Structure 1
Amino acid sequence: MTFMMVLLFCGLNGIAQDFTKYEKGSFIKGKDSIFYRVLFPENFDAAKQYPILFFLHGRGESGNDNQKQLTHGAKLFLKPEIRKQFPAIVVFPQCSSDSYWANVNISTEANGKRVFNFQEKGKPTKAMQALLDMVNNFMDKPYVNKKQVYVGGLSMGGMGTYELLRRRPRLFAAAFAICGGDNVANVQRYQKVPLWIFHGEKDDVVPVSCSTIIADQLKVLGHPAKLTLYPEANHNSWDPAFAEPDLLPWLFSNRKN
């Protein structure tokens, strides 16, 4: 085995070993079930209370392997300095391949452009209902600080973030949405939740307008969100978003009264 191959093997092995810190879990309630991975703080003490963050992945990480949802974002919360500065419970649920986090109809035009028609109101999808039940279950845990509950996500998960916010607007202390979208009529439901929105201006998968209309409506309602647009970023705007030094300090600084 060459030296470079040894380095590659060790690097990949280190990543895999790190991800084992995310404990595997599942939640089943009647016909609703969902897999998740959860990272507990170092030196976790069940007698104490901790902030909790639910992170929603994109469409490409859907499935039932309880692994792919860790593709984007999971490394961030494993950084020693992050774990030390923000001792929080981080949950990565996984959306099944036959469902979607949000109520949205997606069509493709003749030129290949995708069009997102977000629904107003409506019943939750199978995946969203399971997610809601799972979130409620975590809220029953004595070690969860109910004044510090957060949600964030990217792409389909950004859309799911908005939907979760409108279905549980009083639960969350703050949220962030990366390259997501929602029906503008739903915004009033979560207008009082502190929100940071990210999007790449060259996004050719989810148009940047899907984010800017949310920000514009929040401004109209008198509760402007933080909005960060990346002029050169395409759909993977989560990369610069995760690199924002103020993201987690801002997120965890918000608390419910």
Structure 2
Amino acid sequence: MTIKRSKLSVEITKKVEIDYLICLPDGYLEETREWGLIVFLHGMDMRGDNVTQLSNYGLLEAVNEGELSLPFVIAVPQCPFESYWNMERDAVTALIDELSANHNVDRKRIYLIGYSLGGYGVWDLAIHNPEMFAAIVPLSSGGQVSKAEKLKDISIWAFHGAKDDIVPLEQMTEMVSAIEQHQGNVRLTIYPDLGHDIMQETLSNQELYLWLLEQTR
């Protein structure tokens, strides 16, 4: 899989720009089929203006290890300094639209994965664009419980560490319970011995990607 750097600049109601890395799966250039798209949202410490620092972080670190079979187009945008993913919502959705229009992406198989700050971003983006995503995977985060009904038609697999002292486990369990009350398709994995940093444990699990492959709009 080859990782490339790019920048998106578009006019919506205002001009939005976002730097991102894109990783194309093995066989992408040889095969004409459409691929699922995973957008990965990073945590707070990786905000900035040097997107290359994400090339061996999170999902791309898992890719670089070479032990996973990831038949997806993968996009990793960077959130600017002093910003949050809910403030970059238009940029991320514009990025998804651009990738869907210009790459062999199956619009029925668009997925969001996010850790910590990125996990909050995953909840937020899915709540505001529930028709866009087939599945979301929030890690170490919580969402807007009052808007949980908007997520009832999206497949969700959430992850959290029981010993998380940065984002209390209750934030995740309350969100999951709220979705369950609306008969949503949600599952939660709790690591009993882990704290906030659960990225490697979660993203190196091939079962997660096999599950994603089963999810479609």
Whether these two folds match at TM > 0.5 is yes
Query: In 1, are the aligned partners of 2:123 and 2:142 still within 8 Å (CA)?
Result: yes
The Cα shift of 1:224 comes to: 4.4
Note if contact 2:148-2:175 (Cα within 8 Å) is conserved in structure 1.
yes
After superposition, what is the alpha-carbon deviation per residue over 1:66-119, rounded to whole angstroms, capped at 9, x for unaligned?
123342221222454534xx32100001000121013xxxxxxxxxxxxxxxxx
1:43 alignment partner in structure 2: 27
Is residue 255 of structure 1 aligned with residue 198 of structure 2?
no
The CA distance in 2 between the partners of 1:79 and 1:178, in whole Å, is: 20
Pairing 1:68–2:53 present: yes
Listed as ranges, the gaps of 5+ residues in structure 1 are 1-17, 103-124
Task: For 1:237 and 1:62, locate their aligned partners in 2 and report how far apart those are by CA, in whole Å.
Answer: 19
Secondary structure of the corresponding residue to residue 93 of structure 2: helix
Q: Corresponding residue for 2:75? A: 91
Residue of structure 2 in register with 1:148 after alignment: 109
Tell me if structure 2 keeps the 8 A contact 1:59–1:155.
yes
Contact persistence 1:38–1:90 (CA under 8 A) = yes
SS where residue 73 of structure 1 aligns?
helix
1:53 maps to 2:38: yes
Distance, in Å, in 2 between the alignment partners of 1:145 and 1:37 is 19
2:84 aligns with 100
Query: Which residue pairs with 2:132 in the alignment?
Result: 171
Q: Distance in 2 between matches of 1:157 and 1:243?
A: 18
- Secondary structure of the 1:140 match is helix
**Is the contact made by 2:153 and 2:185 (CA closer than 8 Å) also made in structure 1?**
no
Equivalent residue letter for 2:179: L
User: Which runs of structure 1 show a deviation greater than 4 angstroms over 4 or more consecutive aligned residues?
Assistant: none
SS of structure 2 residue aligned to 1:75:
helix
Deviation for aligned residue 1:223: 1.6
Matched AA of 2:9: I
1:8 matched residue in structure 2 = none
1:34 aligns with 18
Over the aligned positions, Cα root-mean-square deviation in angstroms equals: 1.7
Q: Which amino acid aligns with 2:27?
A: N
Structure of greater Rg: 1
- Letter paired with 1:27: L
Deviation at 1:225, TM superposition (A): 1.0
Q: Percent identity?
A: 24
User: 1:90, 1:201 → 2: CA distance?
Assistant: 29
Task: Identify the match of residue 162 of structure 1 among 119, 123, 126.
Answer: 123
CA distance in 2, matches of 1:50, 1:240: 25
Distance 2:110 2:206 in 1: 20
User: Which deviates further from its counterpart, 180-189 or 192-201?
Assistant: 180-189
Question: What count of residue pairs does the alignment treat as equivalent?
Answer: 212
Give the superposition deviation at 1:137: 1.3
Q: Distance in 1 between matches of 2:26 and 2:103?
A: 18
State the distance in 2 between where 1:207 and 1:93 align.
Answer: 26
Aligned-residue offset at 1:232 = 1.4
Q: Determine the structure 1 residue equivalent to 2:194.
A: 233
Match of 2:6 among 25, 40, 43: 25
* Contact 1:158 1:181 survives alignment (8 Å): yes
Supply the distance in 2 between the matched residues of 1:82 and 1:232 (Cα, whole angstroms): 24
